């Protein structure tokens, strides 16, 4: 595995996060394949119950949904809130994004794989609020 500088790691992680934003905005399951590890899972807690979704199910859901891009929804609310490098090969990213009326906060756990690519291995998400588009 080639060694990357801290700046290169940061830039490549941000590029992967931007691909994740694109995947949600364009409802593009093929982009999810780029950023998620094939064994990743997604988690949420609603009304005290843990919801778990394997990436293959999330991928199908995204592939079948309407894309925010279809209504030319603004992407102004997409933001990276925090990046925490646990090591040169692992990081957690907290971000916020809008999909139609829903504003989500995600914690994405990343690892740098054997192909020198950042991959999401787990996603914990929360519906922060419902805010009707005007």
Which H or E element spans position 100? none
Six-digit token string for 91: 């990081």
Query: Is the confidence at residue 2, as pLDDT, over 80?
Result: no
Say if CB 120 and CB 31 are below 8 A apart. Answer: no
Q: What's this model's pTM, rounded to 2 decimal places?
A: 0.92
Average pLDDT over residues 101-108: 96
Query: How far is Cα 43 from Cα 124, in angstroms, rounded to an integer?
Result: 5
What are the residue boundaries of the structural domains of the chain, listed by start? 6-130
CATH 3.10.450.50 fits 6-130, yes or no: yes
Share of the chain above pLDDT 70, in %: 96
């Amino acid at each position: 595995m080639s060694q990357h500088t801290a700046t290169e790691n940061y830039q490549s992680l941000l590029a992967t996060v931007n691909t994740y934003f694109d995947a949600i905005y364009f409802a593009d399951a093929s982009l999810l394949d780029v950023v998620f590890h094939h064994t990743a899972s997604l988690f949420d807690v609603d009304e005290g119950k843990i919801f778990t979704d394997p990436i293959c199910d999330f991928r199908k859901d995204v592939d079948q949904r309407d894309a925010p891009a279809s209504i030319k929804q603004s992407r102004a609310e997409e933001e990276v809130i925090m990046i925490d490098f646990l090591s040169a090969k692992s990081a957690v990213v907290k971000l916020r994004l809008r999909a139609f009326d829903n504003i989500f906060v995600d914690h994405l756990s990343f690892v740098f794989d054997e192909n020198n690519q950042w991959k999401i291995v787990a996603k914990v998400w929360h519906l922060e609020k419902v805010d009707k588009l005007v």
